[in-house]
Every structure is written in C-alpha cells, then in structure tokens.
Amino acid sequence: MEIPYNSTQRPDTGLYNAKVGIWLFLASEVMLFGALFSAYVLLRVGASPGTWSMGLMNIPVGTFNTVILILSSVTVVMAWASLKLGDFKAYKKYQIATILCAAAFVLVKWSYEWPAKFTHYDVTFKDATAAKDYFVAAYGDNHSKQVTKIAKDRYNDPELQITQVPLSGHIVGYKVKGDTHVHDVGKVMNIWNGAWFWRINWQDTNMVALNCPKDITAVILHADGADDDHAKPQHAKTASLSTDAHSGAGSKHHGVEIPVSRIKRLSSLEPAHSPFFAIYFTLTGLHALHVLGGIVVLSYNLLPIGTRLWLKDPDRFANRIETTGLFWHFVDLVWIFLFPILYLL
C-alpha cells in the first residue's frame, strides 16, 4: 500500500501530510527560539548596570538585512504561486532571487558584522585612577564627555561613572618586555574572519593570549573616536562599530599604551565578552544556521535532482515548495523578532 495523502488533501483534515509535518516542526522551532528569547529576557533583567552592552550594533546594516529577508519572503511566495499557475520558469527566477537574498544576508553577517565585533576591544581598569588616566590619554579634555557618550549610547544609562564603562577601540600593537610590536591585530583577525584563535584577551592575572607571547607587558589601543585622523570622519562616531581595522593604516593610529598591570579585563566583543554578546552570537548564529539550511533546501529544489518531481507529480512538487516557503517565512519571522531585541530596544 502506498502512503496516502502525500500530494492530496485528507478530506477531514483538509491537509496533506507534509503540511502537518512542517507546522509541527515549526511549533517545535518556536519553542527552541522561545527558550532563547526567554533567556534573553532573564539575562537582560538581571544584568547589573553597565553590563548590557547593546548599543554597538550597526543599525543600518541590520536594517539592510531585515529588508532583504522580507524581500526574500515575497519572492518565495511568488515562486510557489508561479508553480500553482504552472509557470516553472517564473518559479526558477523567483527562487533564485530568494537564494540570492539569503546568501546576501549570511554574507553580511559572516564577512562584516561578526568580524567587526571580534576586532573591537573593550578595556576595563583595575581602579578609578587607571580608568581616568587612560581615558584622558585617549580623549584629552573630552574624556568626561566621552564617558557620558558611551554610557548613554551603549548602555542607555547616563548615570554610569568612569569606572563602569570600558575604554573601547582597536588594538594596534603590543609590547613584550619593552619591545614594541606594531601589529594590526585587528587586521589580521579580519583576514581570518574573526576566528577565535586570533584573540588576545586578558583578565586580571589570567591571560588568554593565543597569538601573542605570554610575557606581554602592554597593549596599544586606538580608542574609538580618538581624534587623530581627520581624514576619516567615521572615527568620530563612538557608538557604532566602524571598520577602521579595514583601513590598512592601522599602524598609523596613535594608540594609547596601556600596561597590563592596570587592566582588569581586556576582551574583544566576542561571546565571552558579556551576557549580551553571548546571547547575541547564540541567537544570530542559530538563526544563520537556519538561513543556511534554507539555502540548501531551496537549492535542492532548483537542481535537477529536486525538480524531476515537477515532471512526475507537479502537485506534490508545489506542496514541497509550499512547505519550504513556510519554513522560510518562519526564518524571516525569527529575524523580525531578533532585529528589534538585539539592535533597537
């Protein structure tokens, strides 16, 4: 006996099998992301002042990604509608557009947004004196303004004091027992797309310095917005992650030399940085995996191995595209929630 209702609807439920299956799968996905959203809420509500470092997201880029995902939602529906009208050529066109949008989304994340975080460093100091010293070194007379700016833009909490905000920027070099190595760590990391083994992180007496000598004595930090390069106006924006590590002129920055003895914690904006970045990378990473999975399925149904079903059983093929589309809408919908909670709110 063949399995019934693979391509036709069961009269009493009005559904074909795969549609029931995909809705159940999506229900489970809702619970998966729901748990992560609830973790987000709990972590955010429980965060101490000056730890929810959310204001560094690149909103224009996030908006761009939102727009292309919504666009792909439209094209995926058009692809299915074309099949229902029997227009296979139009289906192909629309589905290729969907895949291009999806690929663009992942590309922006992988090659731009995530690496920008991994190359951006936060330094917190052991005491107020150290904090003041290096904020002054980086920003001169503007330092208190800068502290307020970071407190407001990044933590949405203007009350934060100088000891509660990090000095933030790109590391342009380091010192080993007196020898200065001018070395654009940020640039190297960009080549590797921010892979973890290029980090130099520091916490009190315990250093995680995987690509640097263990006896590192100081790091040279080019603070965000420190006014040393008027040719690059984006340096003035503290709150957004500019990509000046890309500029290729890293060694020209006038960095501030900070001895490690005065650093409490040095960390790039990687998952270990703070609960915010932990949940940010987990949520966007899991979402990106879903996008990649979507690309695989969408591509399968464009290649001969998938499309031969169209010749054999067009109804079933259209159903397949419909269920793919339902999954794709879900992936979009997740992003519609992710964008505000990670970028805007």
| Contact set with other proteins (CB under 8 A) | 1-5, 10, 13, 15-18, 20-21, 24-25, 27-29, 31-36, 39, 42-43, 46-48, 51, 196, 203-204, 206, 208, 265, 267, 270-275, 277-279, 281-282, 286
Backbone angles phi, psi at 167, to 5 degrees: -85, 130
Angle at which helix 275-300 crosses helix 17-45, to 10 degrees, equals 170
Indicate the residue among 48 and 304 with the shorter CB distance to other proteins: 48
- Cβ neighbours for 249, distance < 8 A, ≥ 6 positions apart: none
β-bridge pairing 179-182 and 200-203? unpaired
Q: Which two tokens stand for residue 257?
A: 């030399």
Pick from 71, 97, 38: nearest CA to 341: 38
* Cα(155)–Cα(157) distance, integer angstroms: 5
Q: What does the longest C-alpha to C-alpha distance in the chain come to?
A: 83
* Smaller CB separation from other proteins, 13 or 180: 13
Nearer to other proteins, 132 or 264 (CB): 264
Comparing CB distances to other proteins, the nearer of 105 and 281 is 281
- Smaller CB distance to other proteins: residue 2 or 179? 2
The nearest distance, CB 338 to other proteins, in angstroms, is 14
Q: How far is the CB of 285 from other proteins (least distance, A)?
A: 9
One-character DSSP codes across 165-200: S-EEEEEEEEEETTEEEE--HHHHHHHTTT-GGG-E
Question: Residue 275 or 325: which CB sits closer to other proteins?
Answer: 275
Contact yes or no for 123/258 (Cβ under 8 A): yes
- Report the amino acid identity of residue 158: P
What's the closest the beta carbon of residue 33 comes to other proteins, in angstroms?
8
CB of residue 98 to other proteins, shortest distance in Å: 24
Q: Give min distance, CB of 27 to other proteins, in A.
A: 6
CB of 1 to other proteins, least distance (A): 4
